[in-house]
Amino acid sequence: MESLQRPQIICHVQQALNYTVHDVKWIPCSAKFVSIGGKSNGAGIIETYSISGDGIEKVAEFGKKDHFKCGTFHASSLRDRHLATGDFSGRLQVWDLEENLIPIYKTEKHRGVINAIDGVAGVASGCGAPEIATGSKDGAVMVWDIRQKDTPVAKFCQSEGSQGRDCWSVAFGNSYNNEERVVAAGYDNGDLKIYDLRNMSVKWSKCLKNGIVSLQFDRKDIPMNKLVATTLESKIFCFDVRTHHPTKGYAQVVEKAHNSTIWCAQHLPQNREIFMTTGGTGSLCLWKYNYPDRRVEKDADGLEYGVAGELLLLQNSTLSDQPITSFDWCPEKAGLSVCSAFDQTIRVLITTKLNLY
């Protein structure tokens, strides 16, 4: 009986493609998504698919010179819905999907492939200016405002001459008013750093020992609540970043799953305690974070420290035999999602009974 109450992951439709998909993203407020990738000849490609009750249908595509690595709609308003992409040659471009001959915005400041991109404040107002963060192989994390040409509004990098560590993941957070904002960055050596954009400092850093493949705050536009980091060697770290203790730091809970690299962690837009992780063995894990009875305790000196909760595995499913490299929840329809795997297939998934949690 209990198993009937658990969320089920149903594969609605799958579509084989003739190129490598690096990222998939829903277009906000529509029944369409984009797949971002590159062909074997090195050209980048972006395709738009629309879904219906029965299947999916390609509605548009365009190609450019280099493989697209990652993309986001989060820095664009609902009216515009511009896609910001990072590509293999280190270019950040912002595209209008309907007039895609030339990008709306373009920079070439990164010297290596842009591994990760994240946007903030596109839709929600009252939480600062729309910005885009990029993390690159050259070790730099840059924050962009598309109203400012050529130079990033913030840049975190190693000093000249020394090669920084490869940045694999970036995530915005803590953007609950017009001033506050942080960007978290994960590096290939396992370093996790949270940069405070308000006073341009390193707010917190920790080494997780394995390269951080994916990072996400549970919500961007609330005071920092939780941060999920997934790493190589099948580890999921979930930090309670609400309370910081000067010596203990943030409380954390660690889980092992997938038996491989965990490629991606994505929080459900309708419920921040639920997130999906995707693994290198083609498996999907649906997690729920349960808060402890008391989130904050005081130590002997009267300093507050956080108490970690626990992660509950809601569902564990295998979808493919290749790594699932990207996953995106539909922002409007709870339970609808799309994912891409290295078997050159995109799949639309429906997760049921999420409203019960």
- Within residues 57-76, the interface with other proteins by CB under 8 A covers none
* 311 lies in the site for other proteins, by CB under 8 A: no
- CA torsion through residues 16, 18, 24, 25, sign: negative
For tokens 């962690």, the residue is: 265
Number of residues that bind other proteins (CB under 8 A): 81
User: For residues 210 and 199, is the Cβ–Cβ distance under 8 A?
Assistant: no
Structural contact between residues 335 and 11, judged by C-beta atoms closer than 8 angstroms = no
Residue 254 within binding range of other proteins, rule CB under 8 A: no
Task: Count Cβ atoms within 10 A of the Cβ of residue 150 and give its class: 0-12 exposed, 13-18 middle, 19 or more buried.
Answer: exposed
Residue of 44, 103, 130, 173 that binds other proteins (CB under 8 A) = 130
Phi (first) and psi of residue 82, to 5 degrees:
-85, 140
Q: Using CB under 8 A, which residues numbered 144 to 203 contact other proteins?
A: 145, 147-148, 151-159, 162, 164, 177-178, 195, 197, 200-202
Minimum distance, C-beta of residue 87 to other proteins, in the bound complex (Å) = 23
Cα separation values, 99 from 60, 78, 341, Å: 11, 17, 28
Residue 3 host element (H or E): helix 2-5
Q: Is 73 helix (H, G, I), strand (E, B) or coil?
A: coil
Judged by CB under 8 A, the stretch of 41-49, 105-113, 128-136, 228-236 that binds other proteins is: 128-136
Report the residue number, 69 or 193, with the smaller CB distance to other proteins.
193
15, 272, 296, 307: which one contacts other proteins (CB under 8 A)?
Answer: 272
Binds other proteins (CB under 8 A): choice among 78, 108, 209, 298 = 78
Cα 205 to chain centroid, rounded = 19
In b/e form, how buried is each residue of 292-322, taking b as 16+ CB within 10 angstroms? eeebeeeeeeeeebbebbebeebbebebbee
Q: Which of 88, 173, 190 is nearest to 137 (CA)?
A: 88
Is residue 183 within 8 Å of 172, Cβ to Cβ?
yes
- Binding map of other proteins across residues 29-48, x = CB under 8 A, - = no contact: xxxx----------------
CB of 162 to other proteins, least distance (A): 7
Confirm if 200 and 193 have CB atoms less than 8 A apart.
no
CA distance 62 to 113: 20
- 60/154 with CB nearer other proteins: 154
Choose which of 109, 303, 345, 353 interacts with other proteins (CB under 8 A): 303
By the rule CB under 8 A, 322 interacts with other proteins: no
Contact range with other proteins by CB under 8 A, out of 87-95, 209-217, 228-236, 269-277: 269-277
Q: Which positions from 83 to 122 touch other proteins by CB under 8 A, shown as an x/- string?
A: ----------------------------------------
Q: Which is nearer to other proteins, 188 or 221 (CB)?
A: 221
Residue from 67, 110, 137, 219 in contact with other proteins (CB under 8 A) = 219
Cβ atoms of residues 212 and 194 within 8 Å: no
Return the number of the residue (87 or 138) whose C-beta is nearest other proteins. 138
Contacting range for other proteins; rule: CB under 8 A; set: 15-23, 33-41, 63-71, 244-252:
244-252
